[in-house]
Amino acid sequence: MDEHSFEDLRQRLGDEHLGKRMRAQVDHIISTSGQGLGGFHYENLPLFLRAVDLSLRLSGLKERGRQNALGFVVRETPTPIPGLPPALDGLRILHLSDLHLDGYAGLGGLMAQAIHGLDFDLCVLTGDFRFADTGLYRHLTEELEALAPALRCPLGVFGVLGNHDFIEMAPLIEAAGVRLLLNEGLALEFNGETFWLAGLDDAHFYGLHDFDKALAGAPAEIVKILLVHSPELIPDAAERGFGLYLAGHTHAGQMCLPGGIPILIHARCERRYAAGPWQFNGMRGYTSAGVGSSGIFARFFCPPEIAIHTLRRA
């Protein structure tokens, strides 16, 4: 990250937020890398991941899981929003989450192929661009550049950071044409009607979300859409009057039991909010199963998802 990019982030986030995030990132690196020279220590990866990887290899299921992780499905969901103005009825949002782009060589291009030909007005990316949650991300640029042309749409491409993303990755992601919302929001216009799109910094690991900053300048009466990495701020968002909450993080389990029943969701929320469409006190929400895979590049009974939400008047 050059001096100009750092200064830009400093202006947008403020010294306190930037300082807290960078300190938390360093603490995270230390806790996952162990002591001494060399940076990365495989032996410190969670034992759980190694055990799953070993059992997939021994059972001959590793290749099946890899193929599943590349079997993208497109899920189109009518999304009724209370109080939606008639002009916004029919607005189509492409929603990708948990891309983990550097987890498989060529993944960005494969996602682009799957998105090609889909019709949408706005694109949102709800975090986790990197495969690991610390360490290098040197292949992220080429994967993002392969994906970015497929995301172009009239209202633009917006995103938030997830718990796998360091703040230093922000300039690289924005250079690929994704406008990150770092506790920021803006008014967008569709068919002559305005709505507010807000995005929060990661709440799951970093806990640096700030609703007040993301809503600064938002007119009280317009429809508000929230991007957050995880479905862990649902009551707070509903209280602040959001009409739609878009998230990911859970991967809907990624490695599930038959019938798509998740074993783990890694989120502090009830399971009914961990995948697909849901409702909370009049607020509509959707938790994406994710288009990428993390930990191990494999999926079972839980395909990678490209979601399209079509807004409808409730």
We find the least distance from the C-beta atom of residue 99 to Fe ion, in angstroms, to be 8
From residue 284, alpha-carbon distances to 78, 115, 311 in Å are: 11, 24, 10
Build a one-symbol-per-residue string for 10-39: x at contacts with Fe ion by CB under 5 A, - elsewhere: ------------------------------
**SS3 of residue 278 by DSSP:** strand
- Name which of 190 and 254 has its Cβ closer to Fe ion: 254
Cα–Cα distance measured from residue 181 to residue 197, given in angstroms and rounded to the nearest whole number: 9
Candidates 79-87, 165-173, 238-246, 291-299; binding stretch for Fe ion (CB under 5 A): 291-299
Candidates 30-38, 93-101, 131-139, 177-185; binding stretch for Fe ion (CB under 5 A): 93-101
We find the least distance from the C-beta atom of residue 128 to Fe ion, in angstroms, to be 4
The residue among 180, 168, 139 whose CA lies nearest residue 25 is 168
Contact criterion met (CB below 8 Å) for 163 and 229: yes
Q: Is 98 in the site for Fe ion (CB under 5 A)?
A: yes
Q: Is 143 in the site for Fe ion (CB under 5 A)?
A: no
Which of 128, 133, 165, 184: binder of Fe ion (CB under 5 A)? 128
Q: Is 121 in the site for Fe ion (CB under 5 A)?
A: no
We find the least distance from the C-beta atom of residue 249 to Fe ion, in angstroms, to be 6
Neighbours of 123 (CB within 10 A): 25
Neighbours of 24 (CB within 10 A): 17
Q: Is 232 in the site for Fe ion (CB under 5 A)?
A: no
The residue among 65, 79, 69, 78 whose CA lies nearest residue 110 is 69
Q: Name the residues that contact Fe ion, by CB under 5 A.
A: 98, 128, 294
